[in-house]
Structure formats: C-alpha cells, structure tokens
C-alpha cells in the first residue's frame, strides 16, 4: 500500500512521529511538501514542489502519482487539509472535497454551516473593526471570546470581560493574525474565506475533545477527553484527562451534535477532531477539524479507548471503512499537558532520567530546540513540548504529571540580539506545565 502525505509548508519535523506510525501499519509513505527543506524524508520517497501555489503542488503530485500510483493522500496538518482535498480531487483519489475542506478550516464558514443546519453553537459575529467587536460584545453580553477565523492552537484566542480588555486584545489579535504561521502556510490560489476575527458568546460549561470518524450517515466517537484546567483570559493552558466523565446519556447528545456539525460541513467520510463545550446544560459545537487531533491525542485514544486515529486516517485515505466503534473506555486513566515556560529564546531544555525513563510516562515530546523563540500570551502560544502520565485514578495521574513537569528545566539565552523566529509549536492536548526556567 502506498500513501502520499503532504504539508503545504513544512512544519519543522513535528509530524515525523505520525509518519512513523503510518509506516508501522505497513504503509509505504511518500511525502510531498510545498515549501520545506531538502532532507526532510528519505530520498526516493520525498519531493518538494518548491511552491505554495496550489497549481504547482497539484502538478507535482500528479507527476509523482503517474509514477507511483498512490492508493490515497492524507495529512495531519491543519493548514494542509485544503491542499490535500484539492490534490485528492485532481488525482481521482478518495477525499472530502475542497468545499468541505474550506468549511472545516475557516471558523466563520463553519459557524454559518452549523447555523443553517440548526446545530448548537454560540452566538457569533465576524468583526472588521474594534467598534464592530465592541458592538458584538455588547449585544451578546460579557464575557465573550475573540478568535481568528483561520487560527489554530489557540493563538490569539482571548476571553474578553470588559470593553477595555476588548480594546487591548482586539488590537493584539488583529496584528497577530497577519504573521500567524497557520494562516501563512495555507496554499495560494484557493479561496479560504475571510481571514479575520470572530466575536462569540461565552460558553460557561465543561469542554470535551473527541477523536471521531464520520462514515456516511453516522459518527463514531472513538475517544473522548475531558478538559480540566481552571481557565483565565487565554485558552493555552489546557490540562486533559481521559477517559471522559460524561455519562452515556450525555455522550449520545454530544454524538448527535457532532454528527449534525460534520454533515453541515459536508463531511461524509473523514476523521474528525471535534471540540464541544456545554452551556445551560446542553453541548455546543466549538469546532470540528477534518484531521486527527494534535499533541498526544492519538496515544490517549489508544490507551484509554482502544481507538487508533492514525489507522483511521490510513483506512479513510484509501477509501476503506475503518474498524471503528462507539466509545468504550478501557479503564486506563491518563492526564496530559503541554510544557509551558516563560517567554524567551531557548538555550536548552533538560529532562532528568527519572522523568524520561519513568514507567508512568506514556507521552514525552520536547518540541523546542536551541534558538527557538518562546512567545506567551498575548504575543503567542509557543510551548516546550508535551507530557502525559498514567495512574490508577485521575488524581494519581495528575499528581505524577505535575511532579514530573516541575523537574524539567529550560534555560534561556541571555544575549540574543537577532533571535531566530520559528513556527509556533502549539497543539492539543495542552496544559500549563510547571516548568522551571533559568
């Protein structure tokens, strides 16, 4: 079996772990990047289009497909979902189609689709000025949420409690989205919908993340994770626990909401990363991405629910119904976080052996490299990496995770007149890690 995976703009080596998981399933994986480095993947199974233009990427994919006869095309990158849909259409391979991909990427178009379908969502408004944002907040009632239409990883997503906060945060977000990696790594030549800011009413209940599959008329929630962090003004400090605490009757309500949203987006055969939040006792859709979740959500799904999101990507990518089932927990408890420090330019990150080699650690990934710029809200949401631990109970796993996080140290450079900027390394599951900084 041969599959083609793609990144419109190479995101460091962030997805290499996912690529290796695909190969472990017996796939001969080829990689095509629009823009990137020459030595990203083994020679013979890697090509660069040398361009972000969709026509150039499609042409490179078509030429390679004529030689290799791929069984499918896949991606793990949020900013490559639309590119892969276009390539799949051009090559006659299974895919979700460009309109569904755009609707699954742009949160304004997504909200409009949900509204037309009657799916449960917060109130929302696309705003083009501070006055527009203040007007929306006044109509909805504070607090509200300000977020980019084409964002990812909680970059420039703020809870706003007062008009004064809106004035400050709106200016920061409007400026920040101009240089946001996830926006500037989309393909050129595709109508992505408006690149701007949304104001939404605040949902005050608990939040849940799902790794799911839509196949024709049904949706299967393979894995469900609880977000358990106490919140502030930003949404970068997530802590997650699995298995979920949702009872079966609520799980069914959530599943129906996700099915309505997926179908509204035009998704009929796709993996899904869905985020749902309760308000007034009912589940509301935050977003549904046509890809698997980031961070270690795939590892959590396998351990706590016996669901393999990566295998689902492989199966759906070649047009085969994955062997999915409705949520059934295994009884294993995990908690997971992303490792957060203060801002600065990284000199080194040190993980002691008692953490790196601990049996309780199922997820440990240091993504920050020497010279990387760590930006913290309101300027960005860069993290150091991911940490996840197991335990007999949620409380045990949580205590172990915090203890281990406190032993990881990051040292910052003191004299860096021209720091090297890098793509933001923000994903899910994410949480506030007590990481020592020196």
Q: CATH no. for residue 19?
A: 3.40.50.20
- Cα separation, 17 vs 30, in Å, equals 14
Structural domain includes residue 118: no
In the chain, how long is the greatest CA-to-CA distance?
Answer: 59
Of the three residues 201, 231, 247, the one that is the final residue of a domain is: 201
Structural domain includes residue 328: no
> Does the pLDDT of residue 279 top 60, yes or no?
yes
Asked whether the whole model's pTM tops 0.85, one would answer: yes
| 333-377 pLDDT tens trace | 999 987 888 889 999 999 999 999 999 999 898 888 898 888 877
What is the model's pLDDT at position 152? 85
Pair (141, 213) in one structural domain: no
The count of residues in the chain is 438
Mean pLDDT of 257-261: 97
Beta-bridge partners for 348: 411
Mean pLDDT of 255-259: 97
Pair (381, 427) in one structural domain: yes
Percent of the chain scoring above 90 in pLDDT: 76
- Cα separation, 95 vs 111, in Å, equals 22
More confident residue, 420 or 107: 107
Mean pLDDT of 68-84: 97
Highest mean pLDDT among 9-18, 208-217, 405-414: 208-217
Reduced to 3 states, what is the DSSP secondary structure of residue 78?
helix
Backbone phi and psi for residue 175, each to the nearest 5 degrees, phi listed first: -75, -40
What is the model's pLDDT at position 162? 97
- Cα separation, 63 vs 55, in Å, equals 12
pLDDT band at 422 (very low <50, low <70, confident <90, very high): very low
> Does the pLDDT of residue 421 top 50, yes or no?
no
- Provide the residue range defining the domain that includes 18: 2-93
CA-wise closest residue to 305 among 222, 211, 229:
222
What is the model's pLDDT at position 237? 53
pLDDT band at 117 (very low <50, low <70, confident <90, very high): very high
Pair (170, 182) in one structural domain: yes
> Does the pLDDT of residue 148 top 90, yes or no?
yes
| 191-207 pLDDT tens trace | 999 999 999 999 999 99
Cβ atoms of residues 290 and 271 within 8 Å = yes
Query: CATH number for the domain including 413?
Result: 3.30.470.20
Number of structural domains found in the chain: 4
pLDDT band at 232 (very low <50, low <70, confident <90, very high): low
> Does the pLDDT of residue 437 top 80, yes or no?
no
What is the model's pLDDT at position 430? 28
Structural domain includes residue 24: yes
Structural domain includes residue 27: yes
What is the model's pLDDT at position 58? 98
Pair (165, 236) in one structural domain: no
Of the three residues 260, 286, 317, the one that is the final residue of a domain is: 317
Query: CATH number for the domain including 155?
Result: 3.30.1490.20
Pair (31, 73) in one structural domain: yes
Pair (210, 305) in one structural domain: yes
Pair (166, 214) in one structural domain: no
Beta-bridge partners for 213: 220, 271
What is the model's pLDDT at position 110? 98
Pair (130, 192) in one structural domain: yes
Structural domain includes residue 254: yes
Structural domain includes residue 75: yes
Pair (242, 195) in one structural domain: no
Structural domain includes residue 100: no
Structural domain includes residue 116: no
Mean pLDDT of 262-284: 97
DSSP 79-139: GGHHHHHHHHHHHT-----HHHHHHHH-HHHHHHHHHHHT-----EEEESSHHHHHHHHHH
Pair (197, 208) in one structural domain: no
More confident residue, 50 or 176: 50
Pair (226, 310) in one structural domain: yes
Q: How far is CA 269 from the centre of its chain?
A: 19
CA distances from 33 to 90, 92, 234 (A): 17, 20, 32
- Cα separation, 218 vs 84, in Å, equals 23
Which contacts qualify for 169-178: CB closer than 8 Å, 24 or more apart?
169/378, 170/130, 170/133, 170/146, 170/197, 171/130, 172/378, 172/379, 173/146, 173/147, 173/148, 173/197, 176/378, 176/379, 176/380, 177/148, 177/150, 177/151
More confident residue, 392 or 270: 270
CA-wise closest residue to 290 among 323, 320, 322, 268:
268
- Cα separation, 144 vs 201, in Å, equals 5
pLDDT band at 270 (very low <50, low <70, confident <90, very high): very high
Of the three residues 170, 201, 232, the one that is the final residue of a domain is: 201
Mean pLDDT of 60-81: 98
What is the model's pLDDT at position 381? 72
pLDDT band at 234 (very low <50, low <70, confident <90, very high): low
| 2-22 pLDDT tens trace | 999 999 999 988 899 999 999
> Does the pLDDT of residue 426 top 50, yes or no?
no
> Does the pLDDT of residue 101 top 90, yes or no?
yes
| 299-311 pLDDT tens trace | 999 999 999 999 9
Pair (385, 428) in one structural domain: yes
């Amino acid at each position: 079996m041969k599959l083609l995976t793609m990144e419109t703009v190479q995101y460091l080596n962030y997805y290499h772990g996912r690529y290796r998981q695909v190969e472990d399933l017996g796939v001969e994986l080829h990689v095509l990047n629009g823009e990137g480095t020459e030595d990203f993947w083994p020679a013979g199974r890697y090509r660069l289009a040398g361009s972000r233009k969709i026509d150039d990427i499609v042409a490179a994919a078509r030429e390679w497909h004529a030689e290799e006869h791929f069984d499918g095309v896949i991606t793990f990158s949020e900013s490559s979902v639309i590119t892969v849909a276009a390539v799949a259409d051009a090559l006659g391979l299974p895919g979700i189609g460009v309109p569904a991909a755009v609707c699954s990427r742009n949160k304004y178009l997504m909200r409009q689709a949900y509204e037309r379908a009657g799916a449960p969502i917060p109130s929302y408004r696309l705003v083009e000025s501070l006055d527009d944002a203040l007007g929306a907040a006044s109509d909805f009632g504070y607090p509200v949420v300000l977020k980019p239409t084409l964002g990812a990883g909680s970059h420039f997503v703020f809870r706003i409690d007062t008009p004064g906060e809106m004035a400050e945060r709106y200016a920061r977000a409007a400026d920040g989205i101009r240089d946001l990696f996830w926006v500037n790594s989309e393909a050129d030549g595709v109508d992505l919908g408006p690149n701007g800011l949304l104001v939404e009413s605040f949902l005050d209940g608990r939040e849940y993340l799902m790794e799911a599959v839509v196949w024709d008329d049904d949706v299967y929630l393979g894995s469900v994770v609880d977000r358990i962090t106490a919140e502030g003004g930003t949404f970068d400090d997530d802590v997650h626990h699995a298995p979920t605490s949702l009872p079966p009757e609520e799980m069914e309500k959530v599943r129906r909401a996700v099915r309505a949203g997926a179908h509204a987006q035009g998704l009929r055969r796709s993996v899904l990363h869905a985020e749902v939040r309760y308000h007034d006792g009912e589940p509301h859709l935050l977003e549904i991405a046509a890809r698997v979740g980031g961070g270690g959500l795939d590892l959590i799904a396998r351990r706590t629910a016996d669901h393999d999101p990566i295998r689902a990507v492989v199966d759906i990518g070649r047009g085969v119904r994955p062997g999915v089932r409705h949520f059934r927990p295994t009884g294993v408890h995990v908690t997971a976080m992303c490792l957060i420090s203060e801002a600065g330019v990284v000199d080194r990150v040190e993980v002691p052996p008692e953490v790196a080699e601990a049996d309780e650690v199922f997820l440990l990934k240091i993504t920050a490299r020497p010279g990387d710029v760590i930006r913290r809200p309101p300027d960005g949401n860069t993290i150091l990496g991911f940490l996840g631990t197991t335990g007999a109970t949620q409380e045990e796993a949580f205590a172990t995770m915090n203890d281990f996080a406190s032993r990881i140290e990051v040292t910052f450079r003191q004299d860096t007149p021209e720091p090297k900027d890098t793509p933001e390394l923000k994903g899910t599951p994410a949480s506030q890690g007590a990481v020592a900084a020196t």
